[in-house]
Structure 1
Amino acid sequence: MTRSPFFAAVISLLLATLAVAEIKSITISDDFRPLILLQTFGFTQTGHVTISVSSSSSQDSSRTGFYLVEQESVLQVDIELQQNSSFCVLDSHYVHHFDQSYQVTSPGLYSLFFANCGPGAKVSMKFQTEMYNLDPNGLKYYLPAGSTQLPGLFLVFSLCYLTFLGLWVYLCYNKKQRIHILIAALLLTKGLSLICAAEVKQYVKTTGIPHGWNIPFYVFQFLGNVLLFMVIVLVGTGWSILKPKLQEKEKKLLMLVIPFEVISTIASVVIGETGPYVQNWSLWTEIFLFAEVSCWVAMRLVIVCWMCIL
């Protein structure tokens, strides 16, 4: 069953913060989906979309094409498709159908789709999408509208984490409890992950691609999440404060949380490095959400049980 464009756009919005590039090289092989969500982007009145097709093959190229639709109109397009199964979305008056480039003059959040109106027709394509806004000086900004301040914001928060790290080390210098070392490691990894995130967003803002900074970002993000869950569980169960050793059920919980975080990190890498145009992309988003929710639920259950025992 084909997912609706509205559902795909909602999933894309929920996980937009995981995207690490706004210039994407996309390959579609023998794809028969009638609608493929390629990208979601926030445009100003100086927004541009450019598509460079390097190779293309389809049974009926006259019934295929790219179109841009405002997020507010995605549901209306979906209703049109549901009312008439033979309706081609390229004929909708809610969409902006274009060939190679399109200039956005009305600011807002837009979704870029590829439509294949040929029944059962398979399409194979290689192309590159480029979405950006222009600043007052005419320079390209590849971050969506409202996100251009993220590099500086991430840098400020990273400095806050590193400041807290220095203060924590100073206050706990004479403390020998292992929980203090874990908290220091947590502050360090969080600070480093935000520095990497700032570099990713800065490079994406000016060039459209992260230039390799996404790799250490994922590494520090994984380490930071694992340490966060460990610290919350250990402090919540009184480890090193009320009792020197962990019980078996607490050890099992920690061994359960780590695999879930590994799964969550792998899913976030797939989501961030590809896009909704991948056929199993929605499955990866569901895996990511399931792993994250499972970690938090397991952590809360242990803490609540320990509080009940106290």
Structure 2
Amino acid sequence: MSNKYRILFLLVLKFTICWCRIHELVIENDVRKYIALSTFGFYKGGKLDVQLQNFKATPHDKDALFGFSLDRTMNDAMNPYLDSHQDHCLLQEPFHTEHEAAVIYFKMDLINNILKVECSPDWKRVHIYKSSNEIPAASPKQVLAGSGNILMQTRRRRSIQEENKSGISDANINPCDQFHLPITVLNDTTDKVLYYNTSFVMSIASDAEEGLYNLYFHSCPNYETNKQVALDFTMQITEENVGNFLSAGEMPLPALYCTMAVLFLLSGAFWVFLLRQSRHPVFKIHYLMAALVFLKALSLAFHGMNYHFIERLGVHLATWAVLYYIAHLLKGALLFVTLVLIGTGWTFIKHVLAPRDKRLFMAVIPLQVLANVAEIILAESEEGAREHRAWRDIFILVDLLCCGCILFPVVWSIRHLQQASATDGKAAANLQKLKLFRHFYVMIVCYIYFTRIIVYLLRITVPFQYGWLDEMFREMATYVFFVLTGYKFRPAAHNPYFSLSQEEDEENLVITESGATEGLTRVNSRNKSTAGITEVTKQESEALLDHREGSHDYD
């Protein structure tokens, strides 16, 4: 293995330790106001295990407020509760009942070394534990146990007694109000720094508690303009749905990706069969299209295996991850290259790319490689990492630039055909070609619009357990786009794409008189109604001149 590929392999392998449902996020010298830690969809029986280790704030202030917020929504739309508190620390604000999200605060009291738990009125019942060992094994509906849960149980019983006496509805009871969890303090005598550790586990014990959970860490001092507190800590988060480490909306993805891989594989084999059996001209780009379909099938197969191991183990295996990333990089680059080649008419019309086409390739290929690298880093980095948002913005920008670039060659071809149809005598043929390119342009626009916008709107609209639908519609849209492209540019006798004019090449063509071409003259007819190339011999030319001269004897 060469040094270049070894470095690429090590870079990919470096990121493979992060993409999992057992998270480990290391925060160093971070001054953000809030950090998005995780988003996960839980079914009944699910479990969220959060461990905060070696937390320290610089400068240290025991009166400063830090902590977590955990909200539950029904879809992946923007969080309305967090968005309404961008200017103020969420932990310092009272609960607002006008928002649909149910919220739990975990406030760190560094003076008393306790983690205070407060719930919004939307929570009817909550099951929070100090550790996973305290979760009742007999039934998820079992009464809370453990040292911390005894307090909750006692408060619950008192609340029920008060409710029975006063007639208060159970919906108005907040069972986790003033519930405390311990915070342990480690004193580093060498650096004279205090480190704080705490943890909590939340069990999804009923159908009413199911939903999409968003976990954030908040640093309230950083909301003040004259303060900037740097944070250092390590987060370990484990998310599980009854032995399945995939989110509720991701559980069908392994089967979906493997099914689509088989579909693309069979379609690629059928395409190769058509090329082998075709009696019409088959060009190099036809085989390039076949290679693209097979790479897409491999990418989906490796993607499905990746999710399979995440589902079973909580982490993916580096081997399948590296194979998926390699196939994904090649597929992404080859897709845009193929679309640009079709748009410029390579091999169908000309065998050499024009300077303008070469400049387009010099822009598209690096952009597409950068977009794929950004997508891989996004998949491998934790949601709370500082570089995650930056790479996400880079990916969106570069992906839009690539989508715009692949439209240029089609627009150029459409413009050329519009001009040719106005001046060339073969208007009917040019209109056929123009219609074909317009269809291809509409296909590309619809593909980009659907896979980039419609799919995103679908993801933030559907309930959390149907989050896999956006991936299904994206892959189905890609499959339909591939099928339509193959159908329109298949080897065929009357495909207008194969007979595009080469007027620029014909004007520069020079015929030398030697060998079999001696005595032949190439005539480029200027009559637009009979545009074309005609070859006549000298004898035929002299006979035609004699006939014209003889016709003047009777004038």
TM-score (norm 1): 0.84
CA distance in 1, matches of 2:86, 2:251: 35
Specify which of 105, 112, 125 is matched with residue 97 of structure 1: 105
* DSSP 3-state at the match of 1:100: strand
CA distance in 2, matches of 1:89, 1:199: 44
Contact (CA 8 Å) 2:332, 2:372: kept in 1 or not? no
Is it true that 1:131 corresponds to 2:239 in the alignment?
Answer: yes
Contact (CA 8 Å) 1:133, 1:141: kept in 2 or not? yes
* DSSP 3-state at the match of 2:315: coil
Instruction: Structure 1: state its 5+ residue gaps.
Output: 1-18, 135-139
Per-residue CA deviation, residues 202-250 of structure 1 (Å, 9 max, x unaligned), is 1111111111122221211111111111111212222212223221111
Structure 1 80/295 Cα, relative in aligned 2: closer, same or farther at 3 Å? closer
CA distance in 1, matches of 2:73, 2:212: 6
Structure number with larger C-alpha Rg: 2
CA distance in 1, matches of 2:262, 2:229: 53
Identity of aligned residues (%): 27
* DSSP 3-state at the match of 1:37: strand
Is it true that 1:228 corresponds to 2:335 in the alignment?
Answer: yes
Per-residue CA deviation, residues 79-121 of structure 1 (Å, 9 max, x unaligned), is 2453xx3663586475223542112341222211111223433
Q: CA deviation at 1:77?
A: 3.5
Specify which of 228, 248, 259 is matched with residue 145 of structure 1: 248
CA distance in 2, matches of 1:181, 1:20: 35
Is it true that 1:268 corresponds to 2:362 in the alignment?
Answer: no
Per-residue CA deviation, residues 124-172 of structure 1 (Å, 9 max, x unaligned), is 11121111212xxxxx211111221111111111111111121122221
Q: CA deviation at 1:272?
A: 1.0
Structure 1 81/27 Cα, relative in aligned 2: closer, same or farther at 3 Å? same
Amino acid at match of 2:413: W
Q: CA deviation at 1:76?
A: 2.4
Contact (CA 8 Å) 1:22, 1:131: kept in 2 or not? yes
Is it true that 1:190 corresponds to 2:192 in the alignment?
Answer: no
Aligned counterpart, 2:358:
251
Contact (CA 8 Å) 1:81, 1:89: kept in 2 or not? no
Specify which of 289, 296, 300 is matched with residue 396 of structure 2: 289
Aligned counterpart, 1:10:
none
Contact (CA 8 Å) 1:77, 1:92: kept in 2 or not? no
Aligned counterpart, 1:88:
91
Instruction: Structure 2: state its 5+ residue gaps.
Output: 1-17, 97-101, 107-198, 223-227, 418-555
CA distance in 2, matches of 1:215, 1:53: 30
Aligned counterpart, 2:66:
64
Structure 1 275/308 Cα, relative in aligned 2: closer, same or farther at 3 Å? same
Aligned counterpart, 1:13:
none
CA distance in 2, matches of 1:39, 1:185: 37
Contact (CA 8 Å) 2:368, 2:398: kept in 1 or not? yes
Q: CA deviation at 1:65?
A: 2.2
Structure 1 152/278 Cα, relative in aligned 2: closer, same or farther at 3 Å? same
Aligned counterpart, 2:472:
none
Structure 1 221/87 Cα, relative in aligned 2: closer, same or farther at 3 Å? closer
Q: CA RMSD in A?
A: 2.3
Aligned counterpart, 1:23:
22
Specify which of 173, 176, 199 is matched with residue 305 of structure 2: 199
CA distance in 2, matches of 1:42, 1:60: 35
* DSSP 3-state at the match of 1:53: strand
Per-residue CA deviation, residues 20-78 of structure 1 (Å, 9 max, x unaligned), is 42211100112222210011111223222112334222334772223311247932233
Aligned counterpart, 1:117:
220
Specify which of 80, 96, 102 is matched with residue 75 of structure 1: 80
Structure 1 81/166 Cα, relative in aligned 2: closer, same or farther at 3 Å? closer
* DSSP 3-state at the match of 1:40: strand
* DSSP 3-state at the match of 2:232: strand
CA distance in 2, matches of 1:87, 1:176: 64
Aligned length: 285
CA distance in 2, matches of 1:90, 1:103: 26
CA distance in 2, matches of 1:24, 1:90: 29
Moved more, 52-61 or 158-167: 52-61
CA distance in 2, matches of 1:291, 1:80: 31
Ranges of 4+ aligned residues in structure 1 off by more than 4 Å: 89-94
Contact (CA 8 Å) 2:82, 2:90: kept in 1 or not? no
Amino acid at match of 2:33: P
CA distance in 2, matches of 1:50, 1:238: 56
Is it true that 1:181 corresponds to 2:287 in the alignment?
Answer: yes
Moved more, 188-197 or 245-254: 245-254
CA distance in 2, matches of 1:210, 1:289: 25
Q: CA deviation at 1:262?
A: 1.6
Amino acid at match of 2:55: S
CA distance in 1, matches of 2:27, 2:94: 23
CA distance in 2, matches of 1:247, 1:95: 60
